[in-house]
Chain A
Amino acid sequence: MHHVSCPHTHKQNGTTERKHHHVVETGLTLLAHASVPFSYWSDAFFTACFLINGMPTRVIAMQTPLERLFGEVPDYTFFKVFGCACRPNLRPYNNHKLQFRPKKCVILGYSSPHKGYKCLHIPSNRVYINSDVVFDENVFPFSNASS
């Protein structure tokens, strides 16, 4: 059965509206911490949603949504600081063997189907999805670029 809320009556869809708040506020916080431009909101919000699904919440008795729905315990060691510097293993992308291997990238969240990280190479504006990544979680390339 499909229910629709009245126009301009957000309270009838309170659960999603509350979730929007949570996703947007978390996403903006991620952007702010790493000084990532607003135009990357889609990556930040996707990451926020990914994180929220793995965090315990009082609404469901301090269980995580992931655990309650799929029975899976989230792997918290997989989570890294959004927008920090990282060096993915880009050897397969190299054209010849004498090329330097890792490029300095920015982590822009997770790729859930791949179980990997989305790494943005700022100069070429290219995103690499990789699981073999070395992180430097105290360096934020976007912050240095803006300053």
Chain B
Amino acid sequence: MSSHDRRLRYACSSCWSSYSTHSFLSQSSSQQRSSCSRSYKQSLSVPRLTQDNRVLVEFHPCFFFVKDLATRELLLRGRYRDGLYKFDAPIIKQVFSSLRASSALWHTHLGHLSSQVVRHILCGHELSSVSNKLYVVCDACQQGKSHQLPFSLSPHVTHAPLKLIHSDVWSPTQTSVSGHNFYVSFVDDYSRFTWFYLLKRKCDVFDIFLKFQIMLNVSLIEKFFVFNLTRAVNT
């Protein structure tokens, strides 16, 4: 990698100028290419070439290749002569069409990556794109990768017992030895105290809830009254 970089830097500093890719192509002929070493007009900036056309350039000791960045398809080849890397005849003339991909196209190229990561890659690798629209709803993504949306924690705070009770039914895959298939739990939000009831049938939940409610009314409310009263007296 380091040797590759060295070669690239060497080529840039000694030969390639910052001349436009389009001009190079429009003027490219065998005659002009042969006089490349004497004129800046036929020279070419490698970074500009790779960035504008989404290609990569491979430098070898005796030859070099220009390949498509995504598909690695060989587009152009050239040889090393007289201290310079020179192009042979172009294989595909449309290779440097210089069309910039939209950010939506990049999203598709990169396997329907999230827009944030696409933006990170485009910025980090200085890849050009037509627009940097923040968020586009991709139909294929919605079909293939629909998931739960992020959620925030509830800001709700209870300041007294039994003001808010959470409840849920849970079922394992195996019936217990006592013949129970479910359990229902009631969690007091203030104290996190949990009441636990085993169920044989799911339809028993309502009966259990009534039982729970009666238990609260009869025993706990009195207890709370006393408990809170003693606390109030003590403080």
A interface residues with partner B (beta carbon < 8 Å) = 9, 11, 13-17, 19-20, 23-24, 38-43, 45-46, 49-50, 52-53, 57, 59-60, 65-66, 68-71, 125
Binds A, one of B3-11, B33-41, B124-132, B160-168: B160-168
7 A-B residue contacts at CB 8 Å?
A: A11-B148, A16-B166, A19-B192, A20-B168, A24-B170, A60-B191, A69-B191
- Total A-B residue contacts, Cβ distance less than 8 Å: 85
A69 to B168, CA, bound (A): 20
Q: Which residues in A have their C-beta under 8 angstroms from that of B172?
A: 41
Give me 16 other A-B pairs in contact (C-beta within 8 A), A42-B198, A43-B176 excluded. A11-B151, A15-B166, A17-B168, A19-B194, A23-B194, A39-B174, A40-B176, A42-B176, A42-B178, A43-B178, A46-B196, A60-B191, A66-B193, A68-B161, A68-B191, A71-B231
Q: Which residues in B have their C-beta under 8 angstroms from that of A52?
A: 194
A11 to B168, CA, bound (A): 12
| B96 in the interface (beta carbon within 8 A) | no
Q: Which residues in A have their C-beta under 8 angstroms from that of B153?
A: 14
Residue of B nearest to A60 (CB): B192
Residue pair A46, B188 in contact (C-beta under 8 Å): no
B interface residues with partner A (beta carbon < 8 Å) = 148, 151, 153-154, 161, 166-168, 170, 172, 174-178, 180, 183, 185, 187-194, 196, 198, 223, 227, 230-231
Residue of A nearest to B149 (CB): A11
- Dominant SS among interface residues on chain A: helix
Q: Which of B180, B185, B188 contacts A49 (CB 8 A)?
A: B185
Residue pair B187, A15 in contact (C-beta under 8 Å): yes
Residue pair A57, B185 in contact (C-beta under 8 Å): no
